[in-house]
Amino acid sequence: MRAELASELERLKARGVTPGLAVVLVGDNPASQVYVRMKGRACGEAGLHHETIRLPKQATEAELLAVIDRLNGDPRIHGMLVQLPLPQHIDEHRVLLRVDPGKDVDGFHPSNVGKVSIGDPTGFRPATPYGVQQLLLRSGVDPTGQHAVIVGRSNIVGRPMAALLLQNGPGGNATVTVCHSRTRSIGAITCQADILIVAIGKPQFVTGDMVKPGAVVIDVGVNRVDDPSLKSGYRLVGDVHFEQARRVAAAITPVPGGVGPMTITMLLYNTVQAARQWGDR
């Protein structure tokens, strides 16, 4: 997919346009710092202009909004994202509303949420659900007519994932069930899934007996669990018990290394889309 993106970048650069992405990081959350470094590295490898703006944890909301206003008006920046989570003293909703919808490559602005929900192709699809959809399609898994069960209803993964799978078009036309923290007998529902997508933020929550034989399992979760046998003292696991589920599933994504690289790739795709659309504004 990144090779395909390279040809698109060449076409844009021939018109004098180099897509630009800005990432704003507030504070020193270790996971956020890793994600931001990965995004910057991917932009550099792809040939995108990229900037990372770091603000201290004690930065005020007004200071963050001023940075967003500056980036909204910067013609070199076509896409922008504010790395979440934000410190508690900053209103996340107010911050996300401040980002120009035409530069909102995370797809969190209500304008883009609405566009994605109705299938408007000019809307920015959140990178993780978009990546999951592409992962399915490019692995030969057509959701059409299949029962997709999503575990988790967050605005970042669960809800937009449902919207994408419901749409009438490639990567859509699934029958979708969304489970969450108030769902009763989750295991009885996940066992019905032809495609099981788990994004609940609980390590190894889905066990092998919760997976339908022959199902396709997409594990979006990334969790640290203690492991004294390793030098780091911990290891990364998903929301699915991989060793149990792999014995039952027809296909399953690993953690780390499955959905994560797709998320970064789709962020690049969204930035290129933003640059392409910017000239039409």
- Do 253 and 141 touch, CB atoms closer than 8 A? no
Q: Exactly one of 100, 103, 104, 106 is catalytic; which is it?
A: 106
Q: Give yes or no: 39 in active site.
A: yes
Q: What is the SS3 assignment for 107?
A: coil
Beta bridge partners of 104: 80
Residue with tokens 């970048």: 9
In the numeric block, which tokens belong to residue 202?
């609980």
Q: Provide CB contacts within 8 A for 254, sequence distance 6+.
A: 219, 238, 242
Torsion, Cα 131 31 157 70, to 10 degrees, reads: -90
Annotated catalytic, 231?
Answer: no
Whether 106 sits among the annotated catalytic residues: the reply is yes
The sign of the CA dihedral 107, 110, 114, 115 is negative
From residue 91, alpha-carbon distances to 6, 153, 195 in Å are 37, 21, 35
| N residues, the chain | 281
Catalytic residues: 39, 83, 106
